[in-house]
Every structure is written in structure tokens, then in C-alpha cells.
Amino acid sequence: MKRREFSLSAAAVLATGTLSKPALAQARQFREGRDFRRLGTPVTPDAPAGKVEVIEFFWYSCPHCHAFEATLSAWAKTAPKDMHLRRMPVAFNSSFVPQQKLFYALEGMGKLGEMHTKVFRAIHEEKQKLDKDQDILAWAGKQGLNAAKFKEFYNSFNVSNQARRATQLQDIYGVEGVPAMGVAGKFYTDGQMTGGGLQTVLQVVDYLVAMSRTPSSPAPDKP
């Protein structure tokens, strides 16, 4: 499996599951080619007009992604109003596809908001195996979801197409490990590049979001 690992210092931060505002406030000069890279071929963001798209590439079975989730959610709540966050499940090989379909089936049913963290919890805290179709379908039926409707979404052409598109974008961005971040269809960064763990990754994303605004667009107020 193709995957980068965070440094020991980053892993220590991940283990806490928290990120303080003072840590984010410690700005530094970020440099292309060191802290982030620019895509050779930009992609058109799938974001509302006037919004800067930020993508989190993740994998439900990744312990780093599990640790990152609470911090990312808290950060997103204080992000500028013109930032549009999308989560995107990766597939480094075919065994990842069932969890991609799980994500998009939940999204299609309008249940992602309440179920996203439950998936992480089931895998990493309850030690349930959710990596095969039958296991996922059985688990979904125990969560109070409409089992027949979930199965319909899970096996639908639309969900399969979304999973394929996610893998295509993952390849375009050159994702080498998760969690990783894409910004504005132009930039990529991850913990291995920044060498500073969650604090620095999210600082770099803030920097790239600001850089992606048009010169005439001031930074909006935070919510």
C-alpha cells in the first residue's frame, strides 16, 4: 500500500487529537516545493462561486485520519466563510473501494454528517472490520438506517462514479499518503512535506486559501 507516515513529532500531536489556536498562530514563511507543491495541471474546483475549495483526502481505516477528524472539524468551524471543505476518500488499491462507496452512500442519503465519525469510531475504537461489502451493509443496517435504501445507494451507478472520480482526483493531486490536503485545484500539502504535523499542515492550508483569493477579494470575516 502506498502511504507516507508522519514524523515522530507529528505522531505525538496526532495522538492528542487536539490543536491549540496558539499553535496555529505561529506563522512561518511557507515555500513552494518544501511545504506545498503546485499541481502541474490544475483542476476545476467543485465549489460554489466565490468559494475556495479545500479537499481532505482520507481513508476510514487510517489511524492518522481518525485522529485528525476532530481537529479538522474544529478548524473548519473557525475558517473564513469563503472556504469550502470537502472530504474525499482515497483508494490506493481496489480493497479501499468499499469504504469509498460507504462514504458516498451515506452522503447520498443525507446521513454523512451524523455517521462520518461513527464510521471512524466503529473501526478504530470498536475494532469492527468495515472493509468488505457484506460487512459494511450489515453494519449500516444496525445503525438505524434504512437498510434497503442504503444498499440501493451503495450499489448505485452514481456512487460508483463518485468513487472513480475521487480516485482520479487523488491521482491528479498526487496523493502519497493520508491525511492530505488539496487547495483550490492548484496546491497539495501533507504532514510529510511540512514536517510539522497538524499545526503546520493547517497553517499551510490557511496560507494557500489566502493566496488563492483574487487580489480584489479581501479575506472575509470568520463565522
Q: For residue 121, give the nearest of 66, 68, 73 by alpha carbon.
A: 66
pLDDT confidence of residue 222: 53
Question: Is the pLDDT reported for residue 214 higher than 90?
Answer: no
Structural domain span for residue 165: 37-212
Which one has a higher pLDDT value, 45 or 152?
Answer: 152
Q: 151 lies in a domain?
A: yes
For residue 189, the cross-strand partners are 181
Question: Is the pLDDT reported for residue 39 higher than 60?
Answer: yes
Q: 26 lies in a domain?
A: no
Q: 118 lies in a domain?
A: yes
Q: 18 lies in a domain?
A: no
Q: 74 lies in a domain?
A: yes
Q: 155 lies in a domain?
A: yes
pLDDT confidence of residue 28: 64
**The CA-based dihedral angle spanning residues 139, 140, 141, 146, taken in that order and rounded to the nearest 10 degrees:** 180
Q: 181 lies in a domain?
A: yes
Residue 48: which CATH number?
Answer: 3.40.30.10
Question: Is the pLDDT reported for residue 13 higher than 50?
Answer: no
What is the per-residue pLDDT across 112-154, written as a single tens digit (0 to 9) for each? 999 999 999 999 999 999 999 999 999 999 999 999 999 999 9
Among the residue ranges 42-46, 138-142, 203-207, 211-215, the one predicted with the least confidence is 211-215
Q: 24 lies in a domain?
A: no
